[in-house]
Each structure stands twice: as C-alpha cells, then as structure tokens.
Amino acid sequence: MTAVGIDAIELWTGKLRLDLPNTFAPVKGEDPGKYTKGIGIEYSSLPDVYEDIVTMGANAAKRLMDRRGLVPDDIGRIDVATESAFDNSKPVSTYVAGCLEQVYDGDFHHANKGERKFACLSGTQVIDDAYNWIRAGRNRGRAALVIATDTALYERGDPGEATQGAGAVAMLVDEEPDVVALSTEQGYGSADETDFLKPNQQFPSVDGKRSIQVYLARMREALEDYESVAGDTHPDDFVYFPFHTPYPGMVRKAALLGYRHITRDTEIEDALADDIGMQPREADFPEREDYEEAIRAYMDELKETRRYREWYERAIEPTIQISGQVGNWYTGSVHIARLSALRAAAEADVDLAGEKLLVGSYGSGAQAEIHAETVQNGWREGVEAVDVEARLDDRYDLSYEEYELVHDVHNHEKEVEVDEFTQPSGEFVFTGWGRMNERR
C-alpha cells in the first residue's frame, strides 16, 4: 500500500511574545517557578495588531508553497482547522485561498475547501480527512494543504491566561511523503464534556482543573482503543510520543499515566515493582479508596525511578521544547510537538528514518485520537528547512502594558487603536473584517 502522510511542514508564529516568568508573573504576584517548572511555558506567542488566524495561516502556507515550488494547480484541497473562526458561513480556508491567489499564477477554483472544528483535535482531523481523500483515490494526483491556525487567548485574570499562544502550522499531505507516513490504525476516546467551551463568545469558559482530568481520561480511552486494533504498545516501540500540549506540565502528567499503561504486563512492570518495592493490584484491595491511595503512592515513586526518567528524557522531553517557547497553539499544538521532537533529533544528528512515533491528539468537548507514524527518509531536510530557531528569535518582547493593549485589540468586542509593534515584511496583513487581506 502506498504510504500517505505529511510531506512538508511550515509554521508561522505570532510575531510578539510575552515573557511569563519575568514580565507576567511579577505583575500577577506569582513565583516565576510556576511558569518555568510547573506549567512549563517560558514565552507565549501573540499576534501583532495586523495578524489574525487568516494571515498567520496564509503566511505559513505561502512559506510552504514557496519552499516546495508549488502552484495552486498542485493542490486539490485546502482545509483549515481552527477554533478561533470569525465567520459562521465562509470557511477560513476561502480567506486563506484568497490571500494565496494574490501571489501565485492560477487559482484554487478546482480545490475543495473546508473548515474543521473540534477544539484542538481538529488539527489532526484535517490530516485524517486529507489522508482518507487520498486513500479513496479522489485526489487526481494532487496534494492537500492543511492548516491549523489559532489565537489561544483567555479572559485576563483567568488561570488559562498563563497558557496562551498564537500561531499557524501548514502541512502538505500527500502520497510518498517526505516527513512521516500515517498508520491505518487509530484509537478514539470521546464524550460530551463541558469543562472548556465558547458558546457565542471569544474567550473560553474553562474549568481548568477538571479539564486536566478530562484530557487524561479521553487519552487513556484512546490508547486502549488504539491497542484494540494495533495490539499492545511497548515503550520501546516508539522513539517519541508527541501529545497535544496545552502546556508542558499537562504532558508530564499524561506521560506518567501513559507509561504505567504501556508498561503493564511487560518485563518493565516487574522491574519497576522491584525498584519501587510494590505494584498495586486492584484485586489485592477490597476497598476502592485503598487501591486509589496505593496507586497515588506508586505513581509518586514511579516518576522518580531511573527507568521512567530515562524514558521520559528520551521519548517525551524533546516533544515539549517548542511548546515551552510559544504556549498553546490549540489546533497546531500536537504538530508543534511532533516538529519539536524531530528538530531535537536533527540537532542531535540521530537518524530517525523508519522509526515510529505514537501521536496523541486531544480536543476539549472532548475527544482524543491516537495513531502511529513512521518517519520517512526525507524527514531531516524537511525539518531543518523550517528554521524554527529564527522564527522564535524574531519575536518582539512585550512589556506588560503593551500586552494588555494587544490583548484588547484581539478581543473582537473592543475597538482599540494601537500602533503595530513589528513591521510587516512581505507578508499578508489583516486590513479589516470581511475585507481581503493585503500583502505588505
């Protein structure tokens, strides 16, 4: 069967950044350690006043098309994943196509366009849709351009404010991909949940603590469902485990639970029982409360074991590095995690071709999806071309007062006149609602 997957990746980060430990924490009267050690985000990316989900998505897509020498005729499908959409009728992909048609010969008349919504998870659903479209043989030799673009902003004073971010990831999905090929096997965990929602409102209503539990529960279900079709997973089967990363601290929790799950009934479980001196079995605890207490004690010990720490440093830590520099990009977040891991491997000069990733996506509302990916021969070139370092370093550092102004500008309910902080340089810029974005 011909491999189908991600052939090229590009990103566009909001051009501003907020330093959480040094600028945000002091104003909030908080210890910087909450950000550096607890939540794990050092900088939030934020859009300048002339950026929005369309411009970020179109700019990422243009970068990708230019790098690969593509023209509209090469692309048969444009799908945008976002939970920051501003138009209840036209999909954001039509706005993005309108931008791109200003700069390329030809147009996207022939291309099927859409917009996918399921909170952060839709960033993976657009890849799935493209995969299915190609597998069904409906692509007529053309590739799919999929874009995950969001401004993840929270009400000022909401605990979620500490996890904000903004950016876009553009990906080309095609046959014989250069970066990763997707598995046919998938697992899902899905339930109607109300811990994070935005009914007719820009900023989410969030029950933060509960959202953590819902994330963990849906991910566990998705992993079990994935194993029911792909067979039991083992920690050594996968070189990296990129997960949806609202903030690195969330992935630390998910990794610990995931590790316990995938080591059960393996030689590692027995070795851990020896290291820790116990391995709670439900059958040994007549009272549920006693069992749960024993599990908590076991998990506290587990995360300090050499075996777990070595696995975490190898398989998880590389996936959360970029997230710590940009915050939550919602639909783009899991793609940032994959890119982060591949970039770390390229820097360490590790050859990943043929290695496998276990990718865990999640969206509030809530649904988790797990699939595997096989790294392809062209991965290193594809990842090095993104030049993540330059993208992150080019951002403008906001003072706290500037941050408040920018936040107000991006809160659509307010009209605030603010000068831009950076200069556009050959990119699409926002020029008003419902108007064509311009290139400056």
**Which residues here bind ligand HMG, judged by CB under 6 A?**
31, 33-34, 37-39, 83, 119-120, 159-160, 162-163, 196, 206, 208-209, 211-212, 215, 244, 246-247, 249-250, 328, 330, 362-364
Neighbours of 3 (CB within 10 A): 13
Smallest gap from Cβ 367 to ligand HMG, in A, equals: 9
The one catalytic residue among 42, 99, 120, 371: 120
Residue among 244 and 395 whose Cβ is closer to ligand HMG: 244
Residue among 33 and 354 whose Cβ is closer to ligand HMG: 33
Q: Give the burial string for 395-407 (b: 16+ CB within 10 Å, else e).
A: beebeeebbebbb
Contact predicate 149/332, CB 8 Å: yes
Please tell me whether residue 133 adopts helix, strand or coil conformation: helix
The one catalytic residue among 244, 335, 407, 410: 244
Residue among 304 and 381 whose Cβ is closer to ligand HMG: 304
Beta strands 16-19 and 396-397 are parallel
Smallest gap from Cβ 348 to ligand HMG, in A, equals: 28
Quote the CA–CA distance of 162 and 247 in Å, as a whole number: 9
Smallest gap from Cβ 152 to ligand HMG, in A, equals: 7
Residue among 26 and 159 whose Cβ is closer to ligand HMG: 159
Smallest gap from Cβ 17 to ligand HMG, in A, equals: 18
Question: Residue 216: in which H helix or E strand, if any?
Answer: helix 208-230
Question: Residue 100: in which H helix or E strand, if any?
Answer: helix 92-101
- Sequence-separated (6 or more) residues with CB below 8 Å from residue 404: 156
Residue among 139 and 364 whose Cβ is closer to ligand HMG: 364
Which residue matches tokens 């696995």? 311
Contact predicate 225/434, CB 8 Å: no
Whats the size of the chain, residue-wise? 440
Smallest gap from Cβ 328 to ligand HMG, in A, equals: 5
Residue among 4 and 119 whose Cβ is closer to ligand HMG: 119
Residue among 217 and 294 whose Cβ is closer to ligand HMG: 217
Smallest gap from Cβ 331 to ligand HMG, in A, equals: 8
DSSP assignments along 394-414, one per residue: TPEEPPHHHHHHHHHHHSTT-
What residue type is assigned to position 356 of the chain?
K
Smallest gap from Cβ 174 to ligand HMG, in A, equals: 27
- Sequence-separated (6 or more) residues with CB below 8 Å from residue 122: 81, 82, 83, 116, 148, 331, 363
Q: How far is CA 161 from CA 206, 247, 277, 321, 403, in A?
A: 11, 11, 41, 20, 12
Torsion angle of C-alpha atoms 170, 173, 176, 180, degrees rounded to 10 = 60
Which residue matches tokens 């990842």? 383
Per the annotation, the verdict on 83 as an active-site residue is: yes
Sign of CA dihedral 204, 206, 212, 214: negative
- Cβ-proximal residue to ligand HMG, closest one: 38
User: What pairs with residue 170 in β-bridges?
Assistant: 10, 147
Per the annotation, the verdict on 176 as an active-site residue is: no
Contact predicate 82/115, CB 8 Å: yes
Residue among 162 and 316 whose Cβ is closer to ligand HMG: 162
Smallest gap from Cβ 138 to ligand HMG, in A, equals: 29
The one catalytic residue among 10, 42, 51, 83: 83
Per the annotation, the verdict on 224 as an active-site residue is: no
Please tell me whether residue 184 adopts helix, strand or coil conformation: strand
Active site residues: 83, 120, 244
